[in-house]
Amino acid sequence: MRKTPTGAGRSAVEAVEAIPDAADRARIAEHVADEMERIRLEALGEAAKNMTLRQIGTDLLGGVSPQRADQIIKNARRGNTSTAAYAFRDMTDDSTHGPWDALPEGAFSEGMLLFNPVSPSPFAGHTLTVRYGPWASGVNVYALHVHNIGADGGALVRDTMELHRILFPVR
């Protein structure tokens, strides 16, 4: 269940909604979302000092299990949510999408993805070279199955919210 923000949270949402230019509104909303995720993770880490995992899962995380709450808290304390896909190169036209150079050489992995999603996407049916690595905030719950370049098998890698919006733009 999604809760409606109140007080200062509602004021922040209204301020972003009031930005007249759609592109500016989208950029600022992206930045605010990343900052809010950082704040949320810090707050969860602090809340863990005074609440049980069951309470955190039920009251703060929308009903997740105590085990999942524990995993989220541990990630928050590490300051790193997970490994995430953050950019890709579309092999159809060699264009890059997302912050391609965000991580230095050696800090990321690359994998191939034949992208055939159930939901509509402008990249459906394309082969993508996906970059993934440690990402601190804005990681999505959705996962991509990426086949590692130069390695056997594949990896199930969550994508960043930014990358997800590129793969599945709102119409």
pLDDT value at 89 more than 90: yes
Q: What is the pLDDT of residues 101-115, one digit of tens each?
A: 988 888 888 889 989
* Per-residue pLDDT, 97: 96
* Per-residue pLDDT, 80: 47
Between residues 59 and 147, the one the model is more confident about: 59
Q: What is the pLDDT of residues 112-168, one digit of tens each?
A: 998 988 888 999 999 999 998 887 666 665 667 676 655 555 677 888 888 888 998
Q: Record the tokens describing residue 115, joined without a space.
A: 């992208």
* Per-residue pLDDT, 36: 77
Between residues 40 and 56, the one the model is more confident about: 56
Whether 44 and 76 have beta carbons less than 8 Å apart is answered as yes
